[in-house]
Chains A and B, each alone.
Chain A
């Protein structure tokens, strides 16, 4: 199996995001960057599938040279090689999906696995755009029935499974009020939800090996994609702050507040 996975560079989800006073962006100072957590789950799932069925995991990222850090992270986890689409400046989901479409057509994987959303934009769009652009099937929000503390998880069993004839994947999806199961003919696009797996840590030998793994450099121009954004971000602002609350000494005081002040019970 050949699997293409994505590795977007995003702000560390634990970091405090502050908007610049003029609303033109976020304060970059002191921020740490990581691979998008949902993408990391995608890398892990790709590695598990390849461990079971043989093949290759190719990781792709789009951005300036700093995204090589995220590519090296995925390579250290065990991905075989990397594709870097070198571009600085804003990109919207149409452009990103357009670039990924070209990379996919070039690499011809059986499966593309992406995070369901990136934790900066929170758009939750690229996988679906990509599937439509390619004319492929899609299974978004891939999850599994077993918990992250199950035996299957400890044994790193892939949750995305190949059908007996090897021509399709079976994916359990997290949807409203339950779990839906789909079977997608290969090639297909899968996007990951949180509970698909627990990504592995990169081992020291893995980190050493990653240094010599190849990173191929491409550009939007080389791929023939116009990346002029169709989404203009006019202004960023902070959400209205909640007014400071109070601590109450006991349950009787709480019920009194809820009944007489907030009037919600």
Chain B
């Protein structure tokens, strides 16, 4: 039986990165279509910590590879360990969520397996040996259906396009293995976390983003985010200017989000920003410029100053409670 191997990811704080569950559900869909068995792998110093969260995901087995050398993620140490396991299991597909780690790691795994790879898949088509992937190109202006023709096929998953797999208890068998550890020419120095009390951008139900129109003043955006329990995002221009941390950037080259409600305040709507939020369920645009391209994708638009609209919106929304 063909094997689909999905790589789950532990955050620096030891918790499971939620996007892993979306990648696992893509893996399950792929396994069903290809008539394959789903396996998961988790590497780290203490991967057993989150193994329980993966048992109910519909996988046949969860492979845990623990090693002191794997404490800090490095592509050079993780890639040999995953490639060796994939070879041992005779995996036909190896995939992971399109997180920063997924994007860094999977091409290196693919290179080791002499395999072709599809990045950021948004759909799985066909069945059996004829499975193909759909993936975005040109900042989401084009979607391509691609077929990988190497014996092993590698991919990363755009998390917002697949529902999260169920976590918790289930039938998956937890197995430990000794990961292949290779010396690395790269040394981990440090990780500086940008801490936020708000929900993760890619996981939030509501996202409020600010653009150049804020002139760097995010107070009203943050106040509205607090009212709605929303995540705060930003356009590339305001991240480049250093007004807000880089990891708030929504766009093709930043985070791709698909919340139930996306509010764009003072964002003109450059192609590369639209690519990062076009899949949101409901989009609201607030901009002084009636001609701003953001209005072309917005369900509801207000042509007005965001500094007038946002406080009013916050007060009106508070009344609904």
Which chain A residues have a beta carbon within 8 Å of chain B's beta carbons? 11, 13-14, 16-17, 19, 26, 92-94, 97, 117, 119-129, 131-133, 136-141, 143, 146-150, 168, 170, 173-185, 188, 193-195, 230-239, 242, 244-248, 250-252, 254-255, 257-259, 262, 264-265
Determine if B56 is an interface residue (Cβ-Cβ < 8 Å). Answer: no
Known contacts A150-B242, A242-B278; A177 and B247 CB within 8 A of each other: yes
Identify which of B22-30, B40-48, B104-112, B172-180 touches chain A: B104-112
In chain B, positions 63-85 with a C-beta closer than 8 Å to chain A are 74-76, 79
| Contact code string B171-196 (vs A, CB < 8 Å = 1, else 0) | 00000000000001111111111100
Interface residues on B, range: 35 or more
Judged by DSSP, the binding face of A is mixed
**Would you mind naming 13 contact pairs between A and B with Cβ atoms under 8 Å apart?**
A17-B142, A94-B116, A97-B111, A176-B11, A182-B74, A230-B116, A231-B149, A234-B144, A239-B141, A246-B301, A251-B312, A254-B302, A262-B261
Interface pair A251/B313, CB less than 8 Å apart: yes
Determine if B100 is an interface residue (Cβ-Cβ < 8 Å). Answer: yes
Give every chain A residue within 8 A of B148 (Cβ-Cβ). Answer: 230-231
Shortest Cβ distance from residue B118 to the other chain A in the assembled complex, whole angstroms:
7
Interface pair A265/B317, CB less than 8 Å apart: yes
Shortest Cβ distance from residue A119 to the other chain B in the assembled complex, whole angstroms:
7
Interface pair B188/A182, CB less than 8 Å apart: yes
Give every chain B residue within 8 A of A132 (Cβ-Cβ). Answer: 79, 107-108, 111-112
Give every chain A residue within 8 A of B124 (Cβ-Cβ). Answer: none
Which chain B residues have a beta carbon within 8 Å of chain A's beta carbons? 11-12, 17, 74-76, 79, 99-101, 103-108, 110-112, 114-120, 132, 136-150, 184-194, 206, 228, 236, 239-242, 246-247, 252-253, 260-261, 271-272, 278, 281-284, 290, 295-303, 309, 312-313, 316-317, 320
* Among all A-B residue pairs, the 9 with the closest Cβ atoms: A147-B242, A128-B107, A132-B111, A137-B186, A137-B185, A125-B107, A230-B116, A175-B100, A181-B189
Give every chain A residue within 8 A of B137 (Cβ-Cβ). Answer: 120-122, 236
Give every chain B residue within 8 A of A231 (Cβ-Cβ). Answer: 116, 118, 146-149
